[in-house]
Amino acid sequence: MSMFKRFVEPGRLALITYGPCAGKLCTVTDIVDQKRVVVDGPEDITGVRRHMMPIKRLSLTDFRFVAKRGIREKVLRKGLEKSGNLNKFWESSWGKKLKTQEARKNMTDFERFKVMCAKQKRSKEVKKSLKKK
Amino acid sequence: MGQAGQQRSKQKKICNKKTVKVKKTGEKKTPKLRKNIQPGQVLILLASKFRGRRVVFLKQLESGLLLVTGPYSLNGVPLKRVNQRYCIATSAKVNLGGADFKSISDTYFAREKAKKGAQTQEKFFATEAPKKVLPQEKKDGQKKLDEVIVKGLAEDMKSYLKSRFSLSARTFPHEMKF
């Protein structure tokens, strides 16, 4: 019974949590040593250039595709496309949570007002139905 | 020591006869309007009696102040001049629908000069100052202007302009998008 499910391995999709690329997805393509990996979200897809990164800055996801060490861009792209990992991530609950956080952060004042009205409406309905009971 | 210094400076004045360019005292440039403020933009007022109200921006006056209206029927803010620095510009925009405010300028807001009439004893000892009432024509002008604007507003925009802006817990203005 293995306790670990997410491993640092080539082909593993990860979210960068710190540094200039914070908040972006990337794929582990090679392993340097116990603490560092080489990472690449192909730059035009996720905006992460191929570079070395300490593992500490990564949050591993559930998604991977089978890859050998040191895969280069062509193989990386093919793997990502075939596995559809990026879409799978954004459809997972983690991905959805990130998206709603971003949407909330980018709300304009008018949108915030509309959300407040909607919340008030909803709570009114809830209270009404509770009162009926 | 002091006297010598004075003498020296005096001498300097006599020697340096520079022609100084005389600045025209009346010339003032209209301060720049922030890029994100357009006619019809909804602004949030940050100071004065109407702080927190959301108002519609009409145009920038020559003095650099912004001409703004509630509309009065929605939130009680009349035609008003506001300093740019005391507003937050939101991204919400309202269609002004050809409202006519071309004739309104800084002179509309000038104080009525009190007539230098007889400083009679009664006036001097008057306990109640004469009440300053807004002339009916200004009220009518306000109504006319607002009618056009309010006609073109959607329901949610109307309630948006009626509501007030405020900060609550864990809302930080530098992190908010307007």
Point out the residue among B44, B159, B177 whose CB comes nearest to the CB of A107.
Answer: B177
Please state the three-class secondary structure of B30-44 as a single string.
CCCCCCCCCCCEEEE
The Cα A15–Cα A23 span in angstroms is 6
Q: Which of A101, A11, A100 is nearest to A61 (CA)?
A: A11
Residue B156 with chain A: CB contacts under 8 Å: 113-114, 117
Residue B90 with chain A: CB contacts under 8 Å: 108-110
- Chain B residues with CB under 8 Å of a chain A CB are 42, 44, 88, 90-92, 156-157, 159-160, 163, 165, 175-178
The Cα B142–Cα B82 span in angstroms is 17
Q: What is the mean pLDDT of residues A72-93?
A: 94
Q: Does the reported pTM lie above 0.95?
A: no
Residue A62: per-residue pLDDT = 94
Scanning chain A, the segments in alpha helix (DSSP H) are: 43-46, 73-83, 85-91, 93-105, 109-132
Q: Is A109 exposed, middle or buried (0-12, 13-18, 19+ CB in 10 A)?
A: buried
| Mean per-residue pLDDT pooled into runs of 10, chain B (178 residues) | 55 56 59 80 92 92 88 91 91 85 84 65 64 81 87 90 90 89
- A106 contacts B91? CB cut-off 8 A: no
Q: What is the pLDDT of residues B14-42, one digit of tens each?
A: 555 665 555 555 556 667 777 778 888 99
Residue A78: per-residue pLDDT = 94
Residue B17: per-residue pLDDT = 60
Residue A1 identity (one-letter amino acid): M
Point out the residue among B92, B159, B175 whose CB comes nearest to the CB of A108.
Answer: B92
Compute CA A38 distance to the chain's CA centroid, rounded to the nearest angstrom: 18
Enumerate residues 6+ apart whose C-beta is below 8 A from B88. Answer: A109, B43, B44, B46, B165, B173, B178
- B175 contacts A109? CB cut-off 8 A: no
Kindly identify which residue of chain A lies nearest to residue B174, measuring between CA atoms. Answer: A105
What is the nearest CA distance from A33 to chain B, expressed in angstroms? 38
Residue B91 with chain A: CB contacts under 8 Å: 108-110
Q: What is the pLDDT of residues A35-77, one digit of tens each?
A: 999 999 899 999 999 999 999 999 999 999 999 999 999 999 9
Residue B129: per-residue pLDDT = 66
- B42 contacts A108? CB cut-off 8 A: no
Residue A69: per-residue pLDDT = 92
The Cα A52–Cα B62 span in angstroms is 57
**To the nearest whole percent, how much of chain A has pLDDT over 70?**
99
> What is the token pair recorded at A83?
């596995």
Q: What is the mean pLDDT of chain A?
A: 93
- A109 contacts B92? CB cut-off 8 A: yes
Point out the residue among A108, A113, A114 whose CB comes nearest to the CB of B91.
Answer: A108
What is the nearest CA distance from B43 to chain A, expressed in angstroms? 10
Q: Is A4 exposed, middle or buried (0-12, 13-18, 19+ CB in 10 A)?
A: exposed
- B42 contacts A110? CB cut-off 8 A: yes
Q: How many CB pairs under 8 A join A and B?
A: 33
- A117 contacts B156? CB cut-off 8 A: yes
Kindly identify which residue of chain A lies nearest to residue B91, measuring between CA atoms. Answer: A108
The Cα B173–Cα B146 span in angstroms is 30
Any B CB within 8 A of A114 CB = yes
CB atoms under 10 Å from CB of B8, counted, come to: 10
Kindly identify which residue of chain B lies nearest to residue A114, measuring between CA atoms. Answer: B156
What is the nearest CA distance from B113 to chain A, expressed in angstroms? 41
Contact B56, B94 (CB under 8 A): yes
